[in-house]
Amino acid sequence: MSSLFAGADNITSGLTDEKTREADAANKAPFVAANSNPFLNILLLHIDCTFITVHYTIQIMKFTEILKKELAGWKKSEVIILSVILAAIIIHAFIRDDSKIALISAVCGILYTTIAGKGKSSCYLFGLCSSACYSYLSFINALYGNLILNIGYYIPAQILGFFSWNKNFKQNTRDIIKTKLNQKERISLIIAGIAGSIITIFTLKYFNDSNAIIDGITTFLSILGMYLTVKRCIEQWVIWMIVNGLSVIMWTNIVLHGTKAYSAVFMWAIYFVFAIYFYLKWRKEVK
């Protein structure tokens, strides 16, 4: 008897499965027909491509608008001078068989300084590349203060600066809103600069830095300078004048002792001139 019931159950189950398959086939029939219709497939593909094209066109338009604002405000004379400087550094580097790392650091560093002077947040993209290359140069020349400064401070500060500047810019030009310190803050800055430089010099002497005095002063003042850069203060350019002038002396001495880093000397000399130029430019706007 049990076998009879089992057989009946199997027949019932088979009928149910057959009905289910028929129902599924009926439901899928429109989709199968649609898939077999080449015109409908082409239409669906066209719709998909249209949506994708519209999406990426909007994204490109947004990027293009940002790029236009980043490139806005340049004078022809500034573009020509910058191009001539970069070309001269690159040509000189190949003629003198200069360090390629020093060359990359110099080019990216000059672009960083110039674009920062124009008040554009995109400067930090070049700043990160320059800091990475300069860290390597500092390591092989035993400038441990500059090495720690770039790895431990410059790179994180530049990332922070990128986001900070993007929160404080003029909507129509994407130029940052520039600020200045009050008298009390300036006095505090001078005291901190002197005290911090002295402490840094003695610390670097303890670790046998090859040029402890200049390296110590430039290291600590660079910390203050980068802080003021992130804060968008005009006083940063005064700090950079001191740092860049001393760095020219330091790297000239290194080159005279046999290291091929001519691009580094040119880089700091150009930094020094740019610091004066952008100080005068920012002063007009801050006033």
* pLDDT computed for residue 187 by the predictor: 93
* pLDDT computed for residue 210 by the predictor: 75
Q: Measured between alpha carbons, how far is 148 from 154 in angstroms, rounded to an integer?
A: 9
**121, 174 contact by CB (below 8 A):** yes
* pLDDT computed for residue 63 by the predictor: 43
The DSSP call for residue 168 is S
To which H or E segment does residue 268 belong? helix 262-286
* pLDDT computed for residue 65 by the predictor: 54
Q: Measured between alpha carbons, how far is 68 from 110 in angstroms, rounded to an integer?
A: 21
**Apex 70 CA angle, 65 and 76, nearest 5:** 115
* pLDDT computed for residue 195 by the predictor: 95
pTM of the model: 0.66
- pLDDT tens per residue across all 287 residues of the chain: 544 444 545 545 554 555 566 555 555 555 444 455 555 555 455 455 555 655 554 454 454 555 556 566 677 887 888 888 888 888 888 887 778 888 888 888 888 888 888 878 788 888 888 888 888 888 887 778 778 878 888 888 888 888 888 776 666 666 778 889 999 999 999 999 999 999 999 988 888 777 788 888 988 998 899 899 888 899 999 999 999 999 999 888 888 877 777 777 888 898 899 899 889 988 887 76
Summarised one tens digit per residue, pLDDT across range 87-99 is: 888 888 888 777 8
Residues 6 or more apart whose CB falls under 8 angstroms from that of 40 comprise: 34
* pLDDT computed for residue 112 by the predictor: 87
* pLDDT computed for residue 285 by the predictor: 79
Query: Given CA atoms 233, 236, 237, 238 in this order, what sign does their dihedral have?
Result: positive
* pLDDT computed for residue 60 by the predictor: 47
In Å, how far from its chain's centre is CA 219? Answer: 21
Q: Which of 170, 282, 176, 172 is nearest to 231 (CA)?
A: 176
User: Which structure tokens are listed for 140?
Assistant: 């092989």
Q: Measured between alpha carbons, how far is 19 from 183 in angstroms, rounded to an integer?
A: 90
Residues 6 or more apart whose CB falls under 8 angstroms from that of 41 comprise: 35
Domain boundaries, the chain: 2-57, 79-286
